[in-house]
Structure 1
């Protein structure tokens, strides 16, 4: 009896239920996807979310990557198949040194589990971000004294003298001669998932929905500087296609690439768009009315429960789908959060999207998934 030949392109997406992971699964199953057709294994700590069709992956695997025994047991049966590892997961702790240890352990456990007698892994894509250029901005001890690079951020900027789990993961991949890698430094990622730790658009959407529900003014919780100055965003679809492009493009091997939508915006214009999308009155910025968004939302879990019930949404808890502290940090930057896309374009990746169309698309997607409410016009 003849043995069946393994499929040429087999992806393992670790973190498949997150913003980038879901877009990656969808992109890999597109008929004209680069390097395809693809067989797609999805991996996460929790099962596939019910708001997405199971057909987006060929098989879902659940395990805790921090547990080496569990990781090996779950991945060993497919280790002889996987040709490409898409690493789009992370665990977050306030202490950046802990982040470095935990996230490196997770990646090492997965790479170790994929080693088999017929090792086929050829490329690993690594998801990181602009914290590479800013330092540990969420670490309560280190964040107050950081000296960041001046924007626009570009890939050949030297590492900063602070602990950063992105650096640890890059070092781990660079130490191997068995496969190539690519690093994908995104900006603020927007997409649609109820499983992401830091989901800026969903955090903004829940804030808007709560303001509408309670009759509160939809005030901007940032500063005059970010209200007026430029920022950029990364659509999860653009990011997914950059991962795939790098995974199958020889020139992109062992390189790091920024990934944004390719345009910039000021938050005051995005605030107007969000006000329209949620049928709220646009409130111009007033620096005399400074407030703390995290404090304002701290006791609003029961309000979100009421919204979920009123609009028949999928059951979610406010603290599990939002991160108001992280959003507030971004909206209080003292510099323009902008990355250069020149290197990516020079290497041949030209993915882009209009940020305002992107925000509108993903808000509608979140409504279709019954994660946020729809309103009748």
Structure 2
């Protein structure tokens, strides 16, 4: 039952059943959550998978945010209830207009009418804000990113970036709505179908190597093997989202969000080897191999592993991001974000 004089929040992220959305829903339903109690409307483009714990949302709504009519039909009945939007949805392969259109469609419904309760938007973007289109081969050859550590007040780069369009969109709704921007690093978390879950990709790669008695070789460069990188645990992201949504001084601010530590891939590779019981192979630049081609051909091998161990049935191309991982492991710069701004504003989340 809804309680009076408490905020009711809806999570309108299209991937609420994916990495960031799942952790966010869990965090919102925690009795210790800031602004608690929350009512959570989980949303997704596809029906929730069978493993998804439906108890962490009050209702799950399936709709296509790229479709104006479908968005209106599915969200109109809660337009007078929603007070906060947690936007963690992107169409990575689409352009700036497509991503802005999705959020515009949602806001047009939730802001319509005299009884609208919408007050705040938390927008999750990422470190491509500082790096530019690193996954776009048409631009990456001549890409000049900002130097690390990445800090929030660095100027925008002169490359196409749908994150910029989304930031401009939420800012355009001020002062009628407040907002906060959350720039995550490489996101890791629990998910069964997030193509950009870097940790899940590494886990699948290690599992296939063990299954086929293959060497678990590092598919990157000597530079990334030796230099620093950081990541964003979805649980840390969720805490920052909620904190900014209910903390007045965090409004109209952009915050990096990482685990608060850094690592080298060389040290992390040893940890993966221990966890997945595969032999550690020191990096050898002379043994460069076609990581993407090799792994994209392992669909049937993954099916065998799923069947052998009774795993949740997934398709390899649904859960892995071999091209994206290869790009990350070929960066010519250290991927490190400053967390000073969050700390200065009073948030001290951390994950190892």
Short-chain TM bin: over 0.9
What are the Cα deviations for residues 331-355 of structure 1, in whole angstroms up to 9, with x where unaligned? Answer: 111100000000110011110111x
RMSD, aligned α-carbons:
1.3
Report how many residues are paired.
Answer: 348
User: Using the alignment, how far apart are the partners of 1:8 and 1:286 within structure 2?
Assistant: 55
Q: Is the 8 A contact 2:6 2:35 kept in 1?
A: no
What are the Cα deviations for residues 215-259 of structure 1, in whole angstroms up to 9, with x where unaligned? Answer: 100000001111111000111000000000000000000110000
Q: Is the 8 A contact 2:122 2:245 kept in 1?
A: yes
Does 2:104 match 1:108?
A: yes
Q: Is the 8 A contact 1:7 1:39 kept in 2?
A: no
* Local SS of the residue matching 2:138: coil
User: Using the alignment, how far apart are the partners of 1:8 and 1:318 within structure 2?
Assistant: 40
* Local SS of the residue matching 1:183: strand
Q: 1:85-234 alignment to 2 at 5 Å?
A: 85-93=85-93, 98-115=94-111, 116-177=113-174, 178-234=176-232
Partner in structure 2 of residue 25 of structure 1: 25
User: Using the alignment, how far apart are the partners of 2:260 and 2:53 within structure 1?
Assistant: 30
User: Using the alignment, how far apart are the partners of 2:89 and 2:18 within structure 1?
Assistant: 8
Question: How far did 1:99 drift?
Answer: 2.2
Question: How far did 1:139 drift?
Answer: 1.1
Aligned pair partner of 1:294 in 292, 299, 304: 292
What are the Cα deviations for residues 132-168 of structure 1, in whole angstroms up to 9, with x where unaligned? Answer: 0000111121111111000000000000000000000
Q: Is the 8 A contact 2:195 2:317 kept in 1?
A: no
Aligned pair partner of 1:319 in 295, 310, 317: 317
Q: 1:47-62 alignment to 2 at 5 Å?
A: 47-62=47-62
Question: How far did 1:273 drift?
Answer: 0.3
Partner in structure 1 of residue 7 of structure 2: 8
Unaligned runs of 5+ in 1: 355-377
Partner in structure 1 of residue 34 of structure 2: 34
* Local SS of the residue matching 1:159: coil
What are the Cα deviations for residues 11-51 of structure 1, in whole angstroms up to 9, with x where unaligned? Answer: 22312112110000000011110011000000010112221
What are the Cα deviations for residues 102-161 of structure 1, in whole angstroms up to 9, with x where unaligned? Answer: 100100000011123211111100010000000011112111111100000000000000
Provide the TM-score with structure 1 as the length reference. 0.90
* Local SS of the residue matching 1:70: helix
User: Using the alignment, how far apart are the partners of 1:238 and 1:83 within structure 2?
Assistant: 22
User: Using the alignment, how far apart are the partners of 1:320 and 1:350 within structure 2?
Assistant: 34
Does 2:281 match 1:283?
A: yes
User: Using the alignment, how far apart are the partners of 1:108 and 1:215 within structure 2?
Assistant: 50
Partner in structure 1 of residue 334 of structure 2: 336
* Local SS of the residue matching 1:345: helix
User: Using the alignment, how far apart are the partners of 2:56 and 2:150 within structure 1?
Assistant: 34
User: Using the alignment, how far apart are the partners of 1:33 and 1:265 within structure 2?
Assistant: 29
User: Using the alignment, how far apart are the partners of 1:73 and 1:36 within structure 2?
Assistant: 29
* Local SS of the residue matching 2:118: coil
Partner in structure 2 of residue 69 of structure 1: 69
Question: How far did 1:52 drift?
Answer: 2.4
Q: Is the 8 A contact 1:18 1:89 kept in 2?
A: no
User: Using the alignment, how far apart are the partners of 2:192 and 2:271 within structure 1?
Assistant: 22
Q: Which runs of 4+ in 1 moved over 6 A?
A: none
User: Using the alignment, how far apart are the partners of 1:7 and 1:347 within structure 2?
Assistant: 24
Unaligned runs of 5+ in 2: none
Q: Is the 8 A contact 2:11 2:25 kept in 1?
A: no
What are the Cα deviations for residues 276-300 of structure 1, in whole angstroms up to 9, with x where unaligned? Answer: 1000011111111011210111211
